[in-house]
């Protein structure tokens, strides 16, 4: 696994986009204030991504306002893997709780599966879809 992104899941996506693009002046690699997803160059091989929080909650079928999970999906740690299905099976065998099974997210251009760490943080394993 290769650490590839930290993805912040924002309630106020537009304000956060302006903060990272205009205040911190991180170059925008992909996205805009309107796209609800953006990637920023932060001077590292790991990138910073910003996503509208509701988009991820909707995609995973979770409740962004669940009072039992106050930190639920405020941040996602993203790892790129060579084989999503094999790594997902390995994590399941190790007892890691699955949040979303491996599938193609064609709108996102990736195959991904989602898990939770022991404290409930969202982890994504993915690889780009082959074109």
Q: How far is CA 118 from CA 53, 72, 90, 122, in A?
A: 21, 13, 16, 10
Q: How confident is the model at residue 71, as a pLDDT?
A: 46
For 57, residues 6+ apart whose C-beta sits below 8 A from its C-beta are 63, 64, 73
Q: How confident is the model at residue 67, as a pLDDT?
A: 60
Structural domain range at position 20: 2-128
End-to-end CA distance of the chain: 22
| Contact between 103 and 111 (Cβ < 8 Å) | yes
Question: Number of folded domains in the chain?
Answer: 1
Question: Which DSSP category does 1 fall into?
Answer: -
Position 100 pLDDT exceeds 50: yes
What's the whole-model pTM score?
0.75
Q: How confident is the model at residue 65, as a pLDDT?
A: 63
CATH of the domain at 112: 3.10.180.10
Quick: pLDDT tens for 13-67: 999 999 999 988 999 999 999 999 999 999 889 999 999 888 887 877 776 566 6
Q: How confident is the model at residue 85, as a pLDDT?
A: 98
């Amino acid at each position: 696994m290769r650490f590839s992104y930290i993805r912040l899941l924002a309630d106020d996506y537009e304000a956060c986009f302006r903060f990272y693009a205009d205040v911190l002046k991180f170059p925008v690699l992909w996205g805009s204030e309107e796209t609800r997803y953006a990637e920023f160059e932060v001077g590292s091989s790991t990138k910073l991504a910003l996503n509208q929080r509701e988009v991820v909650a909707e995609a995973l079928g979770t409740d962004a306002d669940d009072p039992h999970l106050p930190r639920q999906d405020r941040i996602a740690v993203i790892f790129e893997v060579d084989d999503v299905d094999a790594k997902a099976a390995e994590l399941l065998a190790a007892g890691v709780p699955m949040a979303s099974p491996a599938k193609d997210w064609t709108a996102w251009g990736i195959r991904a599966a989602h898990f939770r760490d022991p404290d409930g943080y969202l982890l994504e394993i993915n690889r780009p879809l082959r074109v």
